[in-house]
Amino acid sequence: MVPSCNYINYRGLMNAPMGHHTKSSFSLLLHLIHGQSMKFKTAFYFVFYLTLQSCEKDLTDGFAINTEEGPVNIYLESTPDANYLVCSDASENIHKWPLRYPVFKLLKGDVDADGFDDVLVGVVKSTRFDTTLRKRLFIFGVADKTIIPKWLGSSVSHPLEDFTVRFNGKQTLIRTIEVETDGSYLMAEYEWYGFGPSFREYLKRNISLSEAKVFLHK
């Protein structure tokens, strides 16, 4: 059975206050399970982070978003089998979308410029073409009080480390921290084009993670 504590603080696991040996152990785990089945990866991965007690409880608090049918609440719910992205309204009508992997971030922003909020979810998973467990980005909308996927492409130009949304006065952009091939970090921005986010520009290249985190919300 997958542990019920499914909200992993992946940023804290890799970067904040934990010892060098713990970080090294986590990196070694990802290396060792590379190539194993997804079922094996998921079970081993959940057990590992559960022992570190690295759960980001505030993700369950959620937030309200504006939709065409009026405001709804968005939050995460955990069961023994999966995480769920949940949409509920004042009448307690509820719709759920299953997320069968760790979640490290939950944000809102009108990234497709349709006048209504979208939901951006940071998950940790592999893909068909990239079997390494990495941070990924999913984007959802809400229509008729139902959660709908808008973009599950998940990959950006480089491996994702963190993301936020930023309104530049004209449109809401997705700003990311990504990992360079040499292990340093870059900052990039994406804008919505057609059916998903499209690369707009690099803001900074070859910087430290601490520099990137300071710049992320500027």
CA dist., res. 83 & res. 8, Å (int)? 11
Q: Kindly report, residue by residue over 3-18, the tens digit of the pLDDT.
A: 223 344 333 333 333 3
- Give the domain range for residue 31: 10-52
Query: Is there a domain that residue 187 lies in?
Result: no
Query: Is there a domain that residue 43 lies in?
Result: yes
pLDDT of residue 155: 87
CB-based burial, 46-84: b 16+ in 10 Å, e otherwise: bebbbeeebbbeebbebeebebeeeebbbbbbbeeeebb
* The model's pTM: 0.76
Query: Is there a domain that residue 48 lies in?
Result: yes
Query: Is there a domain that residue 98 lies in?
Result: no
Is the CA virtual torsion 72, 55, 84, 113 positive or negative? positive
Query: Is there a domain that residue 30 lies in?
Result: yes
pLDDT band with cut points at 50, 70 and 90 for residue 113: very high
Q: Report the SS3 class of residue 154.
A: strand
Q: Kindly report, residue by residue over 132-153, the tens digit of the pLDDT.
A: 999 999 999 999 999 999 999 8
According to DSSP, the β-strands at 63-67 and 185-193 are unpaired
Q: Kindly report, residue by residue over 66-88, the tens digit of the pLDDT.
A: 999 999 999 999 888 889 999 99
Mean pLDDT of the chain: 80
pLDDT band with cut points at 50, 70 and 90 for residue 129: confident
Query: Is there a domain that residue 20 lies in?
Result: yes
What's the total number of domains in the chain?
Answer: 1
pLDDT top residue among 19 and 209: 209
pLDDT of residue 112: 96
pLDDT of residue 23: 38
Query: Is there a domain that residue 21 lies in?
Result: yes
Percent of the chain clearing pLDDT 90 (strictly above) = 63
pLDDT score of 48 more than 90: no
What's the rounded mean pLDDT across residues 53-70? Answer: 73
Q: Kindly report, residue by residue over 159-197, the tens digit of the pLDDT.
A: 999 999 999 999 999 999 999 999 999 999 999 999 999
Residues in the chain: 218
Query: Is there a domain that residue 193 lies in?
Result: no
